[in-house]
Every structure is written in structure tokens, then in C-alpha cells.
């Protein structure tokens, strides 16, 4: 059983509907290319896919999904399994990015969220396998190492906002953590700061390690002693930011940092609060910069928080493109999606600085 290969097929109302050959002729491509463009079974150039989609729409062509699925032994369904990502405001952009590509390539995205429960996630992964999904995006709320779940079986997987633990080779995409810190510190240096501190989280994960390495490297590059720059560790929330902020800002005026780079926006909010308690003004007495661009925090603070926006939507797009290429055996994801399918080395995406009002030149 397969997709009709002629110029048309009979519908329930007896009228002839345009077939795949008609779409191919209108788009100026082969029938195989039309099939790949509509099914996502193989990677197709974006402009070619757009031309095929326009031709199909103009002709009123709709593919026979049941026949195609039986022929290809695929369901056209992709699962996205996460820990807390579906309930985290900024990280929900991963779902948006994955959905963008799924829609473009004719796939259905199904999302499950374990709420951080490993046992629930294992059941969800087994359930997705039972439903014969074609592949799974395994996403995390923040960049961390993930061990291979036994429950995935032999289903194709791509990691999003995470890196594989030792012994598991799988395509993965994550933010460039070192570059995040380099971008933040460069912004502070350009404003004239030299006494720059880092308020970071206590978790031993790629995000904390990478940002601290980048923080010190950026200072060294500027001729400063990165190893002696003050670093305070606390929980990665506002309470942790208040604690780290007080430790840094209670120092004598001659030693007090004029700028603080924070692990995330919530810690930055805590630093704002610590400064207010000590009678210090942001940014006049201390500039503050965060990470995440969590708008409910960053845009609501006064002054607005300058921050590094993580590439959540881009990671979702890269993950879905790479997974569909892996399922179809096509080439690696296009350059516009961030890179290829190297299972031995995660793809790291750059982040963008969002300039608000929390950074100024030191007094």
C-alpha cells in the first residue's frame, strides 16, 4: 500500500484529486523530492520545501498519511520528554522551536513533562515507545549531564539543553556556557568596570562550570587576574542571590565590586534586593547582569535587568531538525539550525545580550 504516483486520485465524492506527480510538475522537482518535503523523511532545502508546499496548497493536494506511514513504517509523531521545561516560562520556547520545525516538516509533536520525577519520566518514555513515536527529544530545564535512560529502547533520541553523560554518544545541543560569561564580562568591561564579581550557583553542572571558566578567561584576556576575582556561591534563586550579594557588597568600599555577573536572573533579583538593604543603588553603585532573559523578572525589575538570553527556541529548532534528519537518514541539520549530528560532541549555540538599565559606568 503506498501513495498514488499518478496525476490524481479519486476522493470520496468521486472527484479526481491532484496527485504527487502534479505537485512535482508544478514545483519543478521530482516526485521523490515532493514526498520528502511533505513527509520529512529526508532533509530538503528550505527553499525547495517552500516551493513544494506552495504548489501543494495551490493544487489542493493532501498526502495520504496512512498510506505513507505504512510504507515508511513511521507514525509521523515525535515525542518531547522533559523534566520541568513545560512549566518553566522561558524554557517553553524550546517547545515552540521544536513545534515550528515539526509543522514545517509535517510531523506531530507530543509533549510530556515528568515534573522532575525520574520514575514518571521512565514510564512516559516507555509509553512514547509503545505509541511507536518516530523519535524523542529529551529536554532539560537547564544545561546538565544526562545518562542514557533504559526506557528509550532503540528509539532515536536527541538531547536538548543538555549534554550526554560519559558513555552515551547521542546528538545534543546546549548553550555555549563559556561564551555566555565572556559576553557578560565584555559588556561590563566596555562600561569601564575592573572590579567584577561572579554570583554563581552551588550546583556542579555544565552551566556553572562553563560560566566560571568563561568569567575568569574574559578577565584574564583583559589583563586582570581572573583567579583572584571574587566568586560567591549560593542557591540559584533569589534567596541565593541575596546571600551572595550581601557577601560581595558588604566588603569595604575600596574592595567592593562595582559590577556583579549573576548565574541567572533570579540570583540577579536577589542581588538587587541585597543592594537595596545596604543602601546601594543599581547601577550607580553596582552594575548587575544576569542570564536567561526571564522576562517576568528581568523586565519587571527597576531598573530593568541587562541579561544574556539563552537560545531556547533555537535549541528546539536544532533538536527537531537533527532528530528528523537522523530518523530519515538525511544529511546533518542545516547551518541555519546550528550544525550537524555529531554524536561525539554537543553543538553549542551562542546567546544574545539584552541591554536594559542595570549596567552603567562605575562612579
Is residue 242 over pLDDT 90?
Answer: yes
Domain hosting 25: range is: 8-72
**Which of 72, 89, 122 is a domain's end point?**
72
Residue 363 lies in a domain: no
Task: Give the pLDDT band (50/70/90) at residue 16.
Answer: low
Residue 343 lies in a domain: yes
- Mean of the per-residue pLDDT values of the chain: 87
Q: Determine what percent of the chain is predicted with pLDDT higher than 70.
A: 86
> How many domains does the chain contain in total?
3
User: Residue 5 has what pLDDT?
Assistant: 40
CB count within 10 Å of CB 163 equals: 20
Q: Residues near 130 by Cβ (< 8 Å), separated by ≥ 6?
A: none
**Does residue 59 sit in the same domain as residue 82?**
no
User: Residue 1 has what pLDDT?
Assistant: 32
**Does residue 303 sit in the same domain as residue 319?**
no
**Does residue 220 sit in the same domain as residue 110?**
no
Whose grid coordinates read 509503545?
A: 130
Is residue 65 over pLDDT 70?
Answer: no
Q: What is the DSSP letter of 87?
A: G
pLDDT tens column, 294-343: 999 999 999 999 999 999 999 999 999 999 998 885 544 443 343 444 56
Of 235, 236, 237, 238, residue with least CA distance to 274:
238
pLDDT tens column, 323-332: 999 888 554 4
Whose grid coordinates read 542570564?
A: 291
User: Residue 73 has what pLDDT?
Assistant: 59
Residue 102 lies in a domain: yes
Whose grid coordinates read 568569567?
A: 215
**Does residue 170 sit in the same domain as residue 319?**
yes
CATH number of domain containing 294: 3.40.50.2300
Is residue 7 over pLDDT 50?
Answer: no
**Does residue 147 sit in the same domain as residue 182?**
no
**Does residue 167 sit in the same domain as residue 194?**
no
Strands (E), the chain: 8-10, 16-18, 77-82, 108-113, 135-139, 145-146, 157-160, 163-164, 172-175, 196-201, 231-234, 259-262, 287-292, 306-309, 347-349, 352-354
pLDDT tens column, 186-196: 999 999 999 99
**Does residue 86 sit in the same domain as residue 159?**
yes
**Does residue 124 sit in the same domain as residue 92?**
yes
Let me know: does 46 contact 334? Beta carbons within 8 Å: yes
**Do you find a cis peptide bond into 283, omega within 30 degrees of 0?**
yes
Poorest-confidence range of 48-62, 87-101, 152-166, 323-337? 323-337
**Does residue 89 sit in the same domain as residue 165?**
yes
Q: How far apart are CA 56 and CA 34, in angstroms?
A: 9
Residue 280 lies in a domain: yes
User: Residue 316 has what pLDDT?
Assistant: 97
Residue 242 lies in a domain: yes
Residue 198 lies in a domain: yes
**Does residue 65 sit in the same domain as residue 144?**
no
Beta bridge mates, 108: 77
Let me know: does 262 contact 199? Beta carbons within 8 Å: yes
Residue 128 lies in a domain: yes
Residue 101 lies in a domain: yes
85 vs 126, more confident? 126
User: Residue 66 has what pLDDT?
Assistant: 45
Q: Residues near 137 by Cβ (< 8 Å), separated by ≥ 6?
A: 78, 79, 80, 81, 98, 157, 158, 160, 316, 319, 320, 323
**Does residue 106 sit in the same domain as residue 132?**
yes
Is residue 64 over pLDDT 80?
Answer: no
**Does residue 169 sit in the same domain as residue 152?**
yes
CATH number of domain containing 31: 1.10.260.40
Amino acid at each position: 500500500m503506498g501513495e498514488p504516483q499518478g496525476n490524481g486520485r479519486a476522493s470520496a465524492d468521486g472527484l479526481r484529486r491532484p496527485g504527487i506527480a502534479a505537485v512535482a510538475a508544478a514545483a519543478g522537482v521530482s516526485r521523490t523530492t515532493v514526498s520528502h518535503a511533505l513527509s520529512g523523511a529526508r532533509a530538503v532545502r528550505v527553499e525547495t520545501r517552500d516551493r513544494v508546499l506552495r504548489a501543494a496548497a495551490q493544487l489542493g493536494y493532501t498526502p495520504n498519511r496512512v498510506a505513507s506511514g505504512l510504507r515508511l513504517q513511521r507514525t509521523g509523531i515525535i515525542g518531547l520528554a522533559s523534566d520541568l521545561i513545560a512549566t518553566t516560562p522561558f524554557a517553553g520556547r524550546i517547545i515552540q522551536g521544536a513545534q515550528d520545525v515539526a509543522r514545517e516538516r509535517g510531523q506531530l509533536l507530543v509533549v510530556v513533562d515528568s515534573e522532575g520525577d525520574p520514575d514518571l519520566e521512565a514510564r512516559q518514555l516507555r509509553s512514547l515507545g509503545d505509541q511507536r513515536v518516530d523519535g524523542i527529544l529529551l529536554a532539560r530545564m537547564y544545561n546538565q549531564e544526562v545518562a542514557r535512560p533504559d526506557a528509550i529502547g532503540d528509539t532515536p533520541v536527541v538531547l536538548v539543553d543538555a549534554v550526554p553523560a560519559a558513555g552515551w554518544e547521542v546528538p545534543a545541543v546546549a548553550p555555549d556556557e563559556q561564551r555566555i560569561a565572556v559576553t557578560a564580562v565584555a559588556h561590563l568591561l566596555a562600561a569601564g568596570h575592573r572590579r567584577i564579581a561572579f554570583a554563581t550557583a552551588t550546583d556542579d553542572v555544565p552551566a556553572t562550570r562553563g560560566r566560571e571558566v568563561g568569567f575568569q578567561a574574559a578577565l584574564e584576556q583583559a589583563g586582570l587576574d581572573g583567579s583572584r576575582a571574587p566568586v560567591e556561591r549560593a542557591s540559584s534563586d533569589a534567596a541565593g542571590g541575596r546571600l551572595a550579594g550581601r557577601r560581595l557588597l558588604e566588603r569595604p568600599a575600596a574592595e567592593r565590586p562595582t559590577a556583579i555577573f549573576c548565574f541567572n536572573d533570579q540570583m540577579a533579583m536577589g542581588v538587587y534586593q541585597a543592594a537595596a538593604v545596604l543602601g546601594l543603588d543599581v547601577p550607580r553603585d553596582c552594575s548587575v547582569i544576569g542570564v536567561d532573559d526571564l522576562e517576568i523578572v528581568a523586565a519587571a525589575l527597576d531598573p530593568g535587568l541587562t541579561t544574556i538570553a539563552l537560545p531556547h527556541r533555537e535549541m528546539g529548532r536544532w533538536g527537531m531538525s537533527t532528530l528528523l534528519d537522523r530518523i530519515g537518514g538525511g544529511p546533518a541539520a542545516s547551518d541555519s539550525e546550528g550544525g550537524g549530528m555529531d554524536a561525539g560532541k554537543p553543538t553549542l549555540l551562542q546567546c544574545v545580550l539584552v541591554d536594559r538599565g542595570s549596567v552603567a559606568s562605575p562612579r
